[in-house]
Amino acid sequence: MKAMILAAGLGTRLRPLTDSVPKPLLPVGGTPLIVWNLLLLRRHGFRDVVINLHYLGSMIEEALGDGSQFGLRITYSKETTILGTGGGIKQAEPYFNGEPVLVLNGDTLVELDLKELMAFHVAEKAVATLVLREDSDAARWGLVEMEEAEHRIVRITGRGLDDSGPTVPRMFAGIHILDLCLLRDVPRETALSIIDPYVAAIQRGERIAGYDMQGYWSDVGTIERYTQADQDVRAGLIRLEDRQLASAR
């Protein structure tokens, strides 16, 4: 399985920090945010990673190169206009050779057993598996409703199935595995959210699974959360295991 890191965003909520540096290169605990994600992927056996680029993308490409310094092979999918999570994955589709793909948000700092996640996805026989979290503020992030016993997502932001049984509220952690069949009807070079194909699949009766995560997670999307994430790293709440590779960035 290959992986994709979504890194094309403008990072507007992190201005002025992102006026001259793309968000994925902002240091967290002294290491660029995107490097945390690259080393997480490498630690769990990934070797091929696609990164989509738009805003200050050349700086990301220059910093990471072909990925060899991290023990990876990096391919870049360059967007002349931002295509969103769905459109960005669709543009990169040819790189995945028809196989399922693991997608990470470039602004997420997370500790997660990706091998366990992949095994869960296979066991669930799902067309997509979304990593979910319990959060008292889930509705603000975009409510995901899941039948807990069956690990089946029935609604995302209120869209999906109307006749489901009891559900539990969750938030989407921005990490997911999807089978490329879900992109079949997604037009190329069109901006859209990946949530739209997921909702359409739910409405068709296809299985979208939810994987509850327990470890560290932070959306490094605002100045406040960026500052908190940096403090969390320095407090040891999340650790970068491969310091030698990180220092080679």
Q: Domain map of the chain by residue range?
A: 2-234
**pLDDT value for 132:** 96
Average of per-residue pLDDT across 171-184: 94
Instruction: Tell me: pLDDT of 243 over 60.
Output: no
Looking at residues 179-206, what average pLDDT do you find?
A: 93
- With helix as H, strand as E and coil as C, how does 137-175 read? CHHHHHEEEEEHHHCEEEEECCEECCCCCCCEEEEEEEE
Cα dihedral sign for 138, 132, 231, 7? negative
Contact 139, 154 (CB under 8 A): no
pLDDT attached to residue 241: 65
For the residues 124-151, what does the mean pLDDT come to?
A: 88
What pLDDT, on a 0 to 100 scale, did the predictor assign at position 18? 81
What percent of the chain clears pLDDT 70, i.e. is strictly above it?
96
- pLDDT value of residue 242: 55
Q: Specify the CATH superfamily of domain 2-234.
A: Spore Coat Polysaccharide Biosynthesis Protein SpsA; Chain A (3.90.550.10)
Predicted pLDDT at 72 = 96
Contact, 190 vs 89, CB < 8 A? no
**Alpha-carbon distances of 218 from 57, 79, 96, 120, 207, rounded to whole Å:** 23, 26, 27, 22, 27
Task: Give pTM, 2 decimals.
Answer: 0.91
**Are residues 95 and 52 in contact, defined by beta-carbon separation less than 8 angstroms?**
no
Pairwise CA distance, residues 5 & 20, whole Å: 21
Arithmetic mean of pLDDT, 126-145: 88
